[in-house]
Amino acid sequence: MIELHCPNCGRRNVSEFRYVGERHIRPDPDVADPTTWRSYLYLRDNPAGWTDETWLHRAGCRRYLVVERHTVSNEIRSIREAMPVVASEADAPHAQPGRAQSGGSGESA
């Protein structure tokens, strides 16, 4: 059984969650041109390795979570509540990958 550790509800079966997609920094709508918006909406990196993803705990607390997951091994490095991030906030400490609370090692997604 594959489980994720929700910061609000504890360890839960992955069937309670919905994968939303790779985490992206939203461009500032006041200054973004159409090319920037197109890239934000449609282009994804899809790396073979560590990535930040957004998941929705749809059958639990109904909150969005950021899961740092290895796309090859499904190992989970960290899980935290999602906070909206726009381009002007990208350099703030809370927006940096790897500064999350640990979800425990050895978990799978």
Q: Is 50 left (phi over 0), alpha (psi -120 to 50) or beta?
A: beta
Average pLDDT for the chain: 81
Q: Architecture of 3-108 per CATH?
A: 2-Layer Sandwich (3.30)
The secondary structure of residue 86, as a DSSP letter, is: B
- What integer pLDDT is reported at residue 83 of this predicted model? 81
- The position carrying tokens 């073979």 is 48
Predicted confidence (pLDDT) per residue in 28-74, tens digit: 988 999 999 999 889 888 889 999 999 999 999 999 999 999 999 99
Predicted confidence (pLDDT) per residue in 74-108, tens digit: 999 999 999 866 555 554 444 444 434 444 444 44
- What integer pLDDT is reported at residue 17 of this predicted model? 97
